[in-house]
Amino acid sequence: MSRDAFPRGFVWGVATSAFQIEGAHDIDGRGPSIWDRYAAQPGLIEDGSNANVACDHYHRYQGDIGLMKSLGVGAYRFSIAWPRVVPFGRGPVNEAGLDFYDRLVDGLLSAGITPWSTLYHWDLPQALQDEGGWTRRSTADAFVEFADAVSIRLGDRVQHWITHNEPWCVSVLGHADGKQAPGHRSWPEALVASHHLLLSHGRVVPVLRCNSPGSRIGITLNTAECEPASPSDADRAAARQFDGELNRWFLDPIHFGRYPSDVIEYHERVGRLPRGMDFVRPGDLEEVHTPLDFIGVNYYSRAVVRSSTVPEADNEPRTIPAPDPIELTDMGWEVYPNGLTRALIRLNTDYAPSALFVTENGAAYSTGPGSDGSVEDTERCAYVKQHLGACLEAIRAGVPLHGYFLWSLLDNFEWAFGFSKRFGIVWVDFETQERIIKASGHMYSRIVRRNSLAEDRAA
């Protein structure tokens, strides 16, 4: 195998999520989600936009499948909008909503593209939030009902399932930092929510195994290497602590059936667990600790962590901008491909998952069409090549990395940033819905077809 070649059978994909691309927010019985509500509040979305139309993928999915086919990708990771399928979170199933995913899955299969379906990518039905959302244990039960309905309908054709996307973002950004829906600022809520997310994951896996026999099931986590800002003991301790909150809080229960004791102790010490871990009931962690077929890794950058020098009550470790970054993306995130290699090796060493997939990796750059209509997004090309090189490094180091999904197929609604950040390898004109494959899309297509970085590595 040449130095630049990927293993035979390596899965090459692109990824999106329902809320970010579908639009059709009130079509065919879809109910409101927490992100509709969040985006409707003045001042919360950077450019004042909402996702009511987004990429209008709901109506244009056939064209979007055509784009994927022309790129030659073998797999498409998309999410299922819970409010489209069960508009009020629990209760009657909206068959028209399921019909859409039926059409999408059939279209993908006839184009030779393998569907990879994520069940929860952040768009909780608002009706469930009105009852307390993920802070309520009953939301985990509602998620099981939703997953059951989806997998009964699609489980004969969808053979790759991801239960949750980035539960750290849902719990911490959504419930402690207020930067995402539902926009709360309460650490106790965030920790309860994280447990119910994990519990719902564990409970859905056997449902999927039953309704979709032979399928491969995993969960996607946003992992990042947490590096101390300096060699000082304080910064090293802060980095370890942030690693605990971000990575081990999710990975340990899934793989070992327990929460990391140092992180529990820390949360208790700073008052985030006023009633201890009383939301964890007997048997919960056995359910969370259910065998998986893979772990999905979403990687964008590393976290550089310093201890708090301000005497804040919680002494929370702070992530800071990397010192002397060579390059930042439009998100302000450092381009740091080596962090991907290290994250994959660490996951393999510490947790020995059956398989790993990079389920998201990509970069926001605003480059648009030039005078000839082409989009020469050279920075994204470089980013993708460097990170694929990082994947190869990990594979050479023995990591069972079996695939890579580029985020994202399309420019789309980047949550609290609205349309101000573009991650697509396909340009979307949000006025006309015209799509243009960017240079990065053409480059990715060549890599996919060759199953190798050769020639493109140095370009």
Q: Is 404:388 a contact under the CB 8 Å cutoff? A: yes
Least distance CB 385 / ligand IFM (angstroms)? 19
Distance CA 50, CA 252 (A): 36
Helices (H) and strands (E) in the chain, counts: 17, 13
Least distance CB 191 / ligand IFM (angstroms)? 21
Considering beta carbons, is residue 64 or 284 the nearer one to ligand IFM?
64
Q: Is 119:62 a contact under the CB 8 Å cutoff? A: no
Length of the chain: 459
Least distance CB 383 / ligand IFM (angstroms)? 13
Residue 297 is which amino acid? V
Question: Which element (helix H / strand E) includes 220?
Answer: strand 216-222
Least distance CB 412 / ligand IFM (angstroms)? 7
Cα–Cα separations (whole angstroms), residue 407 to 15, 326, 348: 5, 22, 23
Residue of 22, 166, 227, 287 marked catalytic:
166
End-to-end CA distance of the chain: 21
The most distant pair of C-alpha atoms in the chain lies apart, rounded to whole Å, by: 64
Least distance CB 167 / ligand IFM (angstroms)? 12
Considering beta carbons, is residue 212 or 440 the nearer one to ligand IFM?
440
245 in active site: no
166 in active site: yes
Distance CA 340, CA 361 (A): 9
Question: Which position among 33, 163, 298, 319 is part of the footprint of ligand IFM (CB under 6 A)?
Answer: 298
Considering beta carbons, is residue 73 or 93 the nearer one to ligand IFM?
73
Considering beta carbons, is residue 36 or 166 the nearer one to ligand IFM?
166
Task: Point out which residues pair with 42 in neighbouring strands.
Answer: none
> Does 17 interact with ligand IFM (rule: CB under 6 A)?
yes
Considering beta carbons, is residue 121 or 402 the nearer one to ligand IFM?
121
Q: Is 295:383 a contact under the CB 8 Å cutoff? A: no
Distance CA 298, CA 117 (A): 15
83: CB partners within 8 A, 6+ apart:
30, 31, 32, 33, 89, 123, 124, 125, 126
Considering beta carbons, is residue 189 or 414 the nearer one to ligand IFM?
414
> Does 118 interact with ligand IFM (rule: CB under 6 A)?
no
The residue assigned the tokens 């950040």 is 421
> Does 360 interact with ligand IFM (rule: CB under 6 A)?
yes
Distance CA 209, CA 295 (A): 16
Q: Is 82:146 a contact under the CB 8 Å cutoff? A: yes
Residue of 225, 227, 334, 360 marked catalytic:
360
Closest CA to 142 of 127, 154, 156: 127
> Does 12 interact with ligand IFM (rule: CB under 6 A)?
no
DSSP character at residue 26: T
Strands 75-79 and 216-222: unpaired
Count, residues near ligand IFM per rule CB under 6 A: 8
Please list every residue from 398 through 417 that binds ligand IFM, using CB under 6 A.
407, 414
Considering beta carbons, is residue 58 or 423 the nearer one to ligand IFM?
423
Considering beta carbons, is residue 212 or 329 the nearer one to ligand IFM?
329
Q: In angstroms, how far is CA 307 from the centroid of its own chain?
A: 27
> Does 166 interact with ligand IFM (rule: CB under 6 A)?
yes
Considering beta carbons, is residue 161 or 415 the nearer one to ligand IFM?
415
215 cis-preceded (ω within 30 degrees of 0): no
Phi-psi region of 199 (alpha: psi -120 to 50; beta: other; left: phi over 0): alpha
For 70-94, b/e burial (b = at least 16 CB within 10 A) is: ebbbbbbbbbbbbbbbbbbbbeebb
Query: Which positions are catalytic?
Result: 166, 360
Binding residues for ligand IFM (CB under 6 A)? 17, 20, 166, 298, 360, 407, 414, 423
